[in-house]
A and B are shown apart, each in its own frame.
Chain A
Amino acid sequence: MTEQTIAIAPGTTAPAREFGPLTRQMFVRYSGASGDLNPMHYDDTMARAAGNPSVFSQGMHQSALLATFATDWLGAENVRRFHVRFREQVWPDDVLTCSGEVETVKMNGDGSSLVTVSLTCSRQTGAVAISGSADFLLPAPHAG
């Protein structure tokens, strides 16, 4: 067994992770996986007719990337709440950076802890595309 103890305390951050450059194929893959077939995300003709320079990424697509970042950090099994706010559109060729910081840690009587983190998905411009937060219930550390 390797030592996998990660210090989790308010202010703890995870190494940021990049996704991209984003491609239309990624948007299409998310459309199919989610069942959201809004053509604004894969049909340039319709996206332009609606006043956009091109197709753009689903806010829920970026949320899913942020979820990948967060669950790799604190454990897929441990997530108990995941919240996102959609802030700015994301375009083909964008490079997104996901980052997170521990806000609070609440110890439970059984040794488990409820960790609340803030999450951010930013574009290469520095503008925030998604701001989010999540709760993770971390199991009690194994004795010994």
Chain B
Amino acid sequence: MTTATTEAPEPSAIGAVGTPFEVLVERGKIREFAAAMQSENPAYQGPGAIVPPTFLTTATSWAPPGSRVVVGFDRRRLLHGEQEYIFHGPLPRAGDVLIAQERLIERYAKPGKRGGEMQFAVVVTEFRSPTGDLVAEARGTFIQTAPKGGPS
């Protein structure tokens, strides 16, 4: 494997935000997601379907170019370390419109288990109602593993 990177976009600094974008919570998408999670819970069916706990991962499909922060890690060494969803009240449901915005909130490094350095980045996506109320947050922790045969 080479470590060459071509035309990598500039990694976002801590505090950088993406452009807000609209997310439509759709009944059919909830139903499709519930099938993929092998859930027969009636809460995910019908006109009043609510979102499953990890459903907001689908919001990125609404993100236009330039609306996402750049973690800037080498894709071949990229791991998704942790993911969290927080709901500040009743769950979003089919028909809701949310405004999503990403923010890079943290970067840190730890020594790798086999030498070198592991890089971490934490990206929070806020989901607000059209009137600005904070409805939900998604928090992803991404890891770039230490390079193989790297300095130790």
Contact = CB atoms under 8 A, between A and B. Distances in A.
A76 B86 contact: no
B98 to A, nearest CB: 16
Contacts of A34: 33, 36, 57-58
B109 interface: no
B83 to A, nearest CB: 5
B109 to A, nearest CB: 19
B85 A82 contact: yes
A29 B36 contact: yes
B46 interface: no
B52 A65 contact: no
B122 to A, nearest CB: 13
A136 to B, nearest CB: 10
A70 B43 CA distance: 13
Q: How large is the interface on B (under 10, 10 to 19, 20 to 34, 35 or more residues)?
A: 20 to 34
Contacts of A36: 57
B72 interface: no
A120 to B, nearest CB: 15
Interface in A32-90: 32-36, 50, 59-61, 63-65, 67-68, 70-72, 76-77, 79-86
Given A63-B54, A71-B52, A81 B37 contact: no
Interface stretch (B7-15, B74-82, B99-107): B74-82
B20 to A, nearest CB: 19
A85 B54 contact: no
Given A60-B57, A63-B83, A67-B53, A76 B32 contact: no
A72 B85 contact: no
Contacts of A64: 33, 36-37, 52, 54
Contact of B44 (A26, A76, A80): A76
Interface string B46-63: 000010111001101100
24 contacts: A33-B32, A33-B33, A35-B61, A59-B83, A60-B57, A64-B33, A65-B38, A67-B52, A68-B37, A68-B39, A71-B39, A77-B43, A77-B50, A77-B91, A80-B87, A80-B88, A81-B85, A81-B87, A82-B85, A83-B84, A84-B54, A84-B84, A86-B79, A86-B82
Q: Which 7 A-B pairs have the closest CB atoms?
A: A76-B43, A64-B37, A33-B36, A82-B53, A35-B61, A68-B39, A83-B84
